[in-house]
Amino acid sequence: MTQPPQSGPWGAHPPQQPGNWQGYPGGPHGPGPQGQWNPQQQWPNPAPAPQKKGPLKWVLGAIALIAVIAVTAVVAVSCAGGNGSNNGGGGNTPSSGSKSDIASANDTGPVSVITEDPSCAPWGPINDTLANSLKNGWDQRDPSIPASAWTPEMQALYQSASTAFRNAADQTVSLIKVTKHRVMRELYQQYVAYIHAFVENISSYSAIDNQLVTVGSTLGSVLNGICQAITFGSAATRAPLVPPASSPKHVASSENADKPTKFMGTSDSDCPEWQSAADGLTSDPAFLQWVKHDPSLPASSWPPQYLTDNDAVKPVFNRSIEAYEKLSANSSNPVIADFGTLAAQYGHAFIQGMPTYTQPDIYLYTVFLRAPGAIAAACRSVGAS
């Protein structure tokens, strides 16, 4: 079996839990089968493969949060920044003489696969601390119960979680300035904005408020996928194969970057199309067959049926990518456009790598699958679907 690349202080084999970089404690779940290709239910783990639980159903409409699940990943030296060249994620980077304290302020180019980022190293401990803090029954709660009906135990649970979420969001603010990539800045900003919004609403919590933390947790998973793809080398390996994205029509301002607001305050006219694009992927028969595969097997070990199924699912992935690219190009919201383009770029990277697939490529798939989920959850948070 092909092992993840030599990366980080543990070498070729990522250490097993506990004591590793844990999966972000959140993301929607709900009824329906869940499989090992489902990064919302089981964090993809390069070694060993997660246990098979049946076909995947990406449930965008669900409102609960999943259990805290550990993931195998360590931030390698490659995440620390390199020599300051642009290694994915946009066009220009600030010159050494830039007066801006936002490292990504001059990144106005197209979003691309990110091969290094200095913010990944400090993001890991923030993620881990939150994950450990929520190992108190948070994943067992019923998110449909409003605050007016909470028992004393539920009230204590939400208050404890509120403190943990607030601390994580507050600590993430500094990463907004550190990252060199505009889309990473936006991911951190929206993570902070939606987590803060959730915390602020806890005293009057109702079921729809769960969508706020779902957006935040989904963005946290996207950040983990990006950083893990850097750490285990799949980003650098596949990025040269990806066609460049179109230049953005609008670029989000970096002014007051450390005081972010939610990217969707009212329903976006494209919300139904984002939902439709996501459903078109996860309901396709070729996709449902493909997700039954064991992702621990490298392409060199695939049986004939895997080869057939991979050929069949590629057009499905490509249709989703084209839909994300079209929606992004037509969007007047620069954050939605960047998140959609991010999904498309990582989808291209995953598809290009399929003929020589190895386990770390699953992190590319995670970003491809989850980034549109954040947009869909944001739509639900304002009552759109």
Q: Which residue has the tokens 């895997």?
A: 306
Statement: residue 68 has pLDDT above 70: no
Give which of 71, 19, 4 is closest to 40, Cα–Cα.
71
Concatenated DSSP letters for 130-180? HHHHTTTTGGGS-TTS-GGG--HHHHHHHHHHHHHHHHHHHHHHHHHHH-S
pLDDT digits 0-9 by tens, 286-301: 999 999 999 999 999 9
Q: What is the pLDDT of residues 81-103, one digit of tens each?
A: 443 334 454 544 443 334 479 99
How far apart (Å, rounded) are the C-alpha atoms in residues 281 and 284? 6
210-263 residue pLDDT tens: 999 999 999 999 999 999 999 999 999 999 999 999 999 999 999 999 999 999
Q: Which residues contact 177 (CB under 8 A, 6 or more apart)?
A: 101, 102, 103, 257, 258
In the prediction, which pLDDT does 93 show?
Answer: 41
> Is residue 174 within 8 Å of 203, Cβ to Cβ?
no
Burial status of residue 150 (CB atoms within 10 A of its CB: 0-12, 13-18, 19 or more): middle
pLDDT band of residue 19 (cuts 50, 70, 90) is very low
The pLDDT score that the predictor gives to residue 384 is: 82
Task: Specify whether the CB–CB gap between 234 and 99 falls below 8 A.
Answer: no
pLDDT grade for 267, boundaries at 50, 70 and 90: confident
Range from 37-41, 57-61, 191-195, 308-312 carrying the lowest mean pLDDT: 57-61
Half-sphere exposure of 219 (CA within 13 A, CB side): 33
**Rounded to 5 degrees, what angle do the CA atoms 303, 305, 306 make?**
70
Q: Are 364 and 115 in contact (CB under 8 A)?
A: no
- In terms of phi and psi (left: phi > 0; alpha: psi -120 to 50; beta: otherwise), the region of 204 is alpha
pTM to 2 decimals? Answer: 0.79
Whether the predicted pLDDT of 60 surpasses 60:
no
